[in-house]
Structure 1
Amino acid sequence: MFEAPRSLTYRAAEAVVIHFDDLLGRLPEDRLGRLPGGLSLAAVRRTRNILSHDYRAAQKSIIWDVVEQRIPAVIAALVE
């Protein structure tokens, strides 16, 4: 996971999640149907807002799960 709060690795993960939300918002309609059923676009947006505006400390385990598991699963579904 992340070595220390606000480490370079954590900051990179923040950037990935923030830009992931932007990319999902730009998907053409025909690709939206390929998104995994359990993916909540509202949850992606909330996570992005927490990270980009630093509303409160994000749980590092959630951010790690998003970067390691969820984003790769979405990418795989989109390129099939």
Structure 2
Amino acid sequence: MAQAKKKDRFNSEGFPIHYESGYLRVYTNPSGELFVEDVRSGVKMRLNPARPDGLEFTTNGRVQPVVVTGTIGWWVTPRG
């Protein structure tokens, strides 16, 4: 039985959505940057592999450090 072709989906800016479930949406732009968005709050994170020694991380939200299973993590919330 042939599989139905998955329809391409795009966000409001015309970028392809790679994952969307519940309140999480992941998409990329033509520059290869990865965006993770919480659709409830509108908070977005941008990951850019532009640096040779790691990733660049930017957000439109407020960032607070947290500890998650012994590692450092970041809690990103809307600016209030």
The interval holding the TM-score normalised by the smaller chain is: under 0.3
Q: Which is helix-richer, 1 or 2?
A: 1
Larger radius of gyration: 2
TM-score by length of 1: 0.22
Q: Which is strand-richer, 1 or 2?
A: 2
Higher relative contact order (CA 8 A, sep 6+): 1
TM-score by length of 2: 0.22
